[in-house]
Amino acid sequence: MTIPLILASASARRTALLEQMGFAHQQLPVDIDESGLPGEPPAALVARLAEQKARAAFARLGPTEQRSAVVLGSDTLIAYAGESLGKPADKEDCIATLLRLSDNLHQVLTAICVVNAADSETQIITTEVQFAPVTRAEIERYWATGEPADKAGSYAIQGIGGQFVRSVNGSVSAVIGLPLYETKCLLHKFGVVE
């Protein structure tokens, strides 16, 4: 019996990565409050959001679907100087974020959470990214492309923003939004096969 896989996201990047691995799935986007709690560390925030997304999507399934389905939730954020850097609120937020990351090392945290009727498991994958020096003029040109507006940390490594990345230590696919190896292993653990 094939176990249905539900992706709790509207992300084209995440669905493309699942397809790249050969996992047939349906998308079931959910809308949750992604605000951090007072004093919440980046790792706790990203894990909580991935789990909330997975559980919210699972709750939307009917009783029959809940008995057989596996739901995958994921969230990605940037951790810099102990702070969580999510999607930019506006152009000035994007500029401030990328100027902070300029010529510095930061961490990209991606959490994956799998939920079924009997169990759940959450994992956090941490990748270190070294930025090259970036000028305000470069950031303003980048903002004008529209790419950074909905990206954690205000950049997309797989897109135009990749030009700011000097090096990556860890999972590049996790920076894009879904760690391939860890996701495959976790889905297999829950009985989902390609």
Structure tokens at 138: 């470069």
Asked if residue 161 is part of any domain, the answer here is: yes
Residue 2 or 59, more confident? 59
The mean pLDDT value for 137-158 works out to 95
Q: In CATH, what number is assigned to the domain containing residue 74?
A: 3.90.950.10
pTM of structure:
0.92
Q: How many residues does the chain have?
A: 194
Q: What is the pLDDT of residue 24?
A: 95
Asked if residue 28 is part of any domain, the answer here is: yes
| Contact criterion met (CB below 8 Å) for 175 and 108 | yes
Which residues form the catalytic set?
75
The mean pLDDT value for 34-41 works out to 93
Q: Which parts of 114-194 fold into alpha helices (H)?
A: 136-144, 172-176, 180-189
Confidence class of residue 1 from pLDDT cuts 50, 70 and 90?
Answer: low
**Which residue segment(s) compose the domain that 100 sits in?**
5-189
Phi and psi at residue 193, to the nearest 5°: -120, 160
Tally of structural domains, the chain: 1
Q: Tell me: pLDDT of 177 over 70.
A: yes
CA dihedral 137, 143, 148, 154 (to 10 degrees): 40
pLDDT digits (tens, 9 = 90+) for 15-33: 999 999 999 999 999 999 9
Across all residues in the chain, what is the average pLDDT?
Answer: 95
CA 22 to chain centre: 19
Give the max Cα distance, the chain.
55
Tokens 């996201």 sit on residue: 9
The mean pLDDT value for 124-151 works out to 97
Q: What is the pLDDT of residue 17?
A: 94
Tokens 């790249």 sit on residue: 20
Q: What is the pLDDT of residue 152?
A: 87
Asked if residue 194 is part of any domain, the answer here is: no
Residue 123 burial by Cβ neighbours in a 10 Å radius (0-12, 13-18, 19+)? middle
pLDDT digits (tens, 9 = 90+) for 50-84: 999 999 999 999 999 999 999 999 999 999 999 99
